[in-house]
Amino acid sequence: MLSLPTLLFSAFKRPLPLITGKFSHLRPFDNYFVTSESSFSSEQLRHMSSHSPVQLLEMVKSVIPPLHYEMHKGQAGRLAIIGGCQEYTGAPYFAAISALKVGADLSHVFCSSDAATVIKSYSPELIVHPLLDRQNAIDEISQWLPRFHSLVVGPGLGRDSHLLKTAAAVIQKALVQKLPLVIDADGLFLITQDPSLVQGLSNVILTPNAAEFGRLYRKVFDREPDPTEPIISVKELCRKLGHVTIVHKGLHDIISDGEQVLVCSEQGSPRRCGGQGDLLSGSMGVFAFWSTVSHQKVEEGSLLKIYGPGICAAYAACALTRICSRRAFEVHGRSMTTTDLISQIQESFEYLFT
């Protein structure tokens, strides 16, 4: 019987290049294990999945639509980003262009009027709607919602009360249509103000970092999360919110819906430039659509049925973002920016999912 490292090695066409220099102690497949299990208690480890990373990546591969010549524009995904204001124009661009690079056919950005021209100037690939700050924004955006397969709410949204109110209304209307939603950045600020917006909605994925998770946890439980038991804290919050999916970003990305728990420990990089979370949320929006469609077709007992579309999408996006970060850091080191990560999407996608 082959050992697990042998199986892991044979599962991929080619290994990632070894990191050299300061990080040369990292081995090619360190990233397929929880690299410091000592950071989790035995009780937390009990909650984690028993499926190998190879099995989980096979689950992800099963939801990716194959490319063929009979496809028409839109079949692989029409995604919308709700965000972008005068101060923050980069975040919605990063999320929207990442969605396209992962494989969505069309990527829309709904932003404030003073952000639209700037975002349009970044790329002609994006469809930009300067609607968020209009008085009738909700009515105008609602006309577009039936065209989309998933929404990402929050990148560059800002905290203007009118924009937040509009975003909250869009979330409610999107959920009526059962659209998969990824909520990030200032969208999480909105949810922290009113957790009932997503209560009991299994088609919602929240992507908080440590600080954002702490604020949401305190809002819901009126106490601090236990810093020594992050897996248990994530699971508690998912259950309290009615089994939404949460991605607690950090050294290890902890993913749960309150029942199942996955930990993504792909080796990324030590560089933390702004915008990496936008690549994560944009790609997650695409995977959320793909996994939702596939979930309706697969047999009971399959991994996708066990984990559900939210966890599948989250795991896929976390793994992809980490590999992009690792590859970009190998090339650019300390000067790495999110644009460098985005340029690595194709090769990282091929490495993980083909």
Q: In this structure, are residues 154 and 183 in contact, taking their beta carbons and an 8 Å threshold?
A: yes
Q: What angle do CA 247, 112, 216 make, to 5 degrees?
A: 25
The predicted structure's pLDDT at residue 253? 97
Q: What share of the chain is helix, strand, coil (3-state, %, to 5)?
A: 50, 10, 40
Closest-CA residue to 99 (of 292, 321, 265, 269): 321
The predicted structure's pLDDT at residue 67? 94
Q: Is 75 a known ligand-binding residue?
A: no
- Find all residues with CB under 8 Å of 36, minimum gap 6, and list them: 251
Q: Is 235 a known ligand-binding residue?
A: no
CA distance 351 to 334: 24
Taking the whole predicted model, whether its pTM rises above 0.75 is answered as yes
Q: Is 269 a known ligand-binding residue?
A: yes
Burial of 123 (0-12, 13-18, 19+ CB in 10 A): middle
Q: Is 251 a known ligand-binding residue?
A: yes
Q: Is 62 a known ligand-binding residue?
A: no
The predicted structure's pLDDT at residue 48? 72
- Alpha-carbon separation of residue 329 from 123, 266, 278, 336, 353 (angstroms): 24, 14, 17, 6, 21
Q: Is 242 a known ligand-binding residue?
A: no
Q: Is 209 a known ligand-binding residue?
A: yes
Q: Is 223 a known ligand-binding residue?
A: no
Six token digits for residue 277: 């979370």
The predicted structure's pLDDT at residue 30? 39
Q: Is 174 a known ligand-binding residue?
A: no
Q: Is 78 a known ligand-binding residue?
A: no
Q: Is 104 a known ligand-binding residue?
A: no
The predicted structure's pLDDT at residue 254? 97
Q: Is 274 a known ligand-binding residue?
A: yes
Q: So where are the chain's domains?
A: 36-62+194-266+297-354, 76-183
Q: Is 334 a known ligand-binding residue?
A: no
The one-letter amino acid code at 33 reads: F
- Classify 152 as helix, strand or coil: strand
Q: Is 252 a known ligand-binding residue?
A: yes
Mean pLDDT, consecutive 10-residue stretches, the chain (354 aa), reads: 33 40 36 46 71 93 96 96 98 98 98 98 98 96 97 98 97 95 98 97 97 98 96 97 98 96 95 96 98 95 96 98 98 98 98 95
Q: Is 273 a known ligand-binding residue?
A: yes
Q: Is 83 a known ligand-binding residue?
A: no
Q: Is 253 a known ligand-binding residue?
A: yes
Q: In this structure, are residues 48 and 261 in contact, taking their beta carbons and an 8 Å threshold?
A: yes
Burial of 264 (0-12, 13-18, 19+ CB in 10 A): buried
- The hierarchical CATH code for the domain 76-183 is 3.40.1190.20
The predicted structure's pLDDT at residue 310? 98
